[in-house]
A = this chain, B = another copy of it.
């Protein structure tokens, strides 16, 4: 199966989400990053391309160049990832849609509602495929939560609380060189929403995704807690769903000390669900009566029992090996043959001494081995 060829807009030097797009896109071997407009600076974009292992000439200085040049290649991109600030979402997605290139775009969809409506019209007209990286809906236990709701295990839904607390904007880091913070707190690049646009929308989508219900009205308290900040950095919102269900959405980027604490709780007539991003492979279902059910993900890539992150730990060993080979030196953190010998000596001692009490664990030193 030949992988789909992926292009990217954004994700250049200093970007957090660009490398994540690349890793995520390629993880299952179905998609391969081949080109990108990683920076508006031509040299930086070419360097970024090389850093991603791509031909430097496929690192373009702008998204228009990217779309134009790739359209002319027989091996041009077949899918576009948009990992640029919000203000770019609309023009890039519009152009890609007009060109018939499927898009996977970061949230929020656009900088304004009007842009989103316009994009919807364009997508309907062109029929181009389009997706948004509301990432949390990709967790197996988030989907399992939705399936429990759909299957009626909770009965009619009655209440929802979704809470997303971060602390990385607790100080005015946008004024001390944090590029991520700078554009997110700048209305020209982020749009009208700060915290509400950046993570409030994640929480909002998660709530509607799992429940299948739609928010009909809301009552918002948005605050700019850090002095001088131009967009909200803290949100507390009462929700009313179409069927009358009450709810609460809480989001903060000034919850000092918090990391990325997204949690969703939903209660229905017959029980409640609780999912937390801190332990994403668990889902708690508490029925009206009887013991709570603690469900564990058997993820799509690993058998039950290997928590999410296992692949990343494994990858760290490989990265260490690649680093060491590139540098022509050993990989000190990667277990080696001494570890291997010790492991075998451990097995041998345990098996030989099983039930017999204490035995030494003696590992022959090579110098002592008889030739």
Within 8 Å by CB of A131, from B109, B304, B334, B349, lies B334
Complex Cα gap A246–B235 (Å): 9
For residue A25, CB closer than 8 A to chain B, the reply is: yes
How many residues on the A side are at the interface (Cβ–Cβ under 8 A)? 191
- Residues 195-220 of A, flagged 1 when their CB comes within 8 A of B and 0 if not, give 01100110011001100001111111
Provide a sorted-by-A list of 16 A–B residue pairs whose CB atoms are within 8 angstroms. Answer: A20-B314, A23-B315, A26-B27, A27-B311, A29-B53, A30-B319, A30-B323, A113-B344, A117-B364, A167-B267, A193-B350, A216-B360, A240-B358, A255-B265, A277-B307, A357-B357
Binding site of A, secondary structure by majority: helix, strand, loop or mixed? mixed
Do residues B315 and A24 form an inter-chain contact, with CB atoms below 8 A? Answer: yes
Per a CB cutoff under 8 Å, which of B28, B254, B284 touches A319? B28
Say whether, besides A132-B335, A359-B218, A138 and B24 are in contact (CB < 8 Å). Answer: no
**List of B residues within 8 angstroms of A315 by Cβ:** 23-25, 27-28, 138
| Residues of B with C-beta under 8 A to A19 | 301
Whether a CB of chain B sits under 8 angstroms from the CB of A79 is yes
B50 lies within 8 A of A1 (CB): yes
> How near does chain B come to A128, taking the closest CB pair, in angstroms?
10
Q: How far is the CA of A303 from the CA of B17 in the complex (A)?
A: 10
Measured CA separation A208–B221 after assembly (Å): 20
* Among A35-43, A57-65, A66-74, A119-127, the stretch in contact with B: A119-127
Interface centre among A119, A192, A236, A299 (most CB of B within 10 A): A236
Known: A217-B358, A305-B166. A196 touches B129 (CB 8 A): no
Please, which residues of chain B bring their CB within 8 A of the CB of A163? Answer: 161
- The 7 tightest CB contacts between A and B, nearest first, are A308-B309, A357-B357, A109-B340, A257-B286, A259-B305, A260-B305, A24-B314
A191 at interface, CB cutoff 8 A: yes
Q: Closest residue to A278 on the B side, CB-wise?
A: B307
Q: Is the CB of B124 within 8 A of A366?
A: yes
A113→B348 CA distance, assembly (Å): 7
Q: Are B28 and A204 in contact (CB under 8 A)?
A: no
- Identify A293's interface contact among B23, B221, B294, B317, CB under 8 A: B294
Residues from chain B with a CB closer than 8 A to the CB of A200 are 346-347, 350
In chain A between 133 and 171, which residues have their CB closer than 8 angstroms to a CB of chain B? Answer: 133-140, 143, 154-155, 158-159, 161, 163, 165-168, 170-171
* Contact call A223/B201, Cβ cutoff below 8 A: no
Question: Which one, B269, B334, B369, contacts A170 given CB within 8 A?
Answer: B269
A76 beta carbon closer than 8 Å to chain B: no
Please determine whether B201 and A337 come into contact, CB atoms closer than 8 angstroms.
no
Q: Indicate whether A294 sits within 8 Å of B291 (C-beta atoms), given known contacts A193-B350, A340-B110.
A: yes
Q: Which residues of B contact A319 (CB under 8 A)?
A: 27-28, 30, 300
Pick from B29, B113, B310: contact of A135, CB below 8 A: B310
Residues in B with CB closer than 8 Å to A201 are: 343, 346-347
